[in-house]
Amino acid sequence: MEGERRVGVAVDFSPCSKKALKWAADNIVRDGDHLILVSVQPEGGYEQGQTQLWEATGSPLIPLAEISDPAVLKKYGMKPEPETLDILNTLARTKEVVVLLKIYWGDPREKICEAIDKIPLSCLIIGNRGLGKIKRAIMGSVSNFVVNNGSCPVTVVKVDHEI
């Protein structure tokens, strides 16, 4: 992947991450790019034999063919919905984009910033749930943390409350 653009999109397969993915597909991703989906799962929930291996580094890069296979993603504790898979397959076909998924376990704020550096990403697109000031103060904002601590350009796609 040396010398090629690696566009990252933080995904949790929620409506706000789907909107970020659509925005990236329409506005950022170009022919020949690598689109790397970064997903952070709660700790645990994956096969015990791989726990120690993946705890520090995250999963291996998972190609689109495996992302589309429910049996493969089940072992990672993930279930992308059909619309997201359709967006990814269309992108791969029409723009000849290489689509990969990298899964981490732990705190999303820390792990997304880690992904930026370790993969490394050229840029990152992340959704924003649109929390109010009080909820954001209590729960913390992943997108705000990544904007302030990420080492690449970060674009935050705000969610419409109609989703």
Cα 41 to chain centroid distance, Å, stands at 11
Q: What pTM value is reported for the model?
A: 0.87
Whether 36 contacts 92, CB under 8 Å: no
Q: What is the pLDDT of residue 8?
A: 98
Confidence of residue 159 (pLDDT cuts 50, 70, 90): confident
List beta partners, residue 158: 128
Q: Which residues touch 139 (CB under 8 Å, ≥6 apart)?
A: 131
In a domain, residue 82? The reply is: yes
In a domain, residue 147? The reply is: no
Which residue from 4, 32, 10 is spatially nearest to 102, judged by alpha carbons? 10
What residue numbers bound the domain in which 72 lies? Answer: 11-115
In a domain, residue 133? The reply is: no
Q: What is the pLDDT of residue 47?
A: 55
In a domain, residue 154? The reply is: no
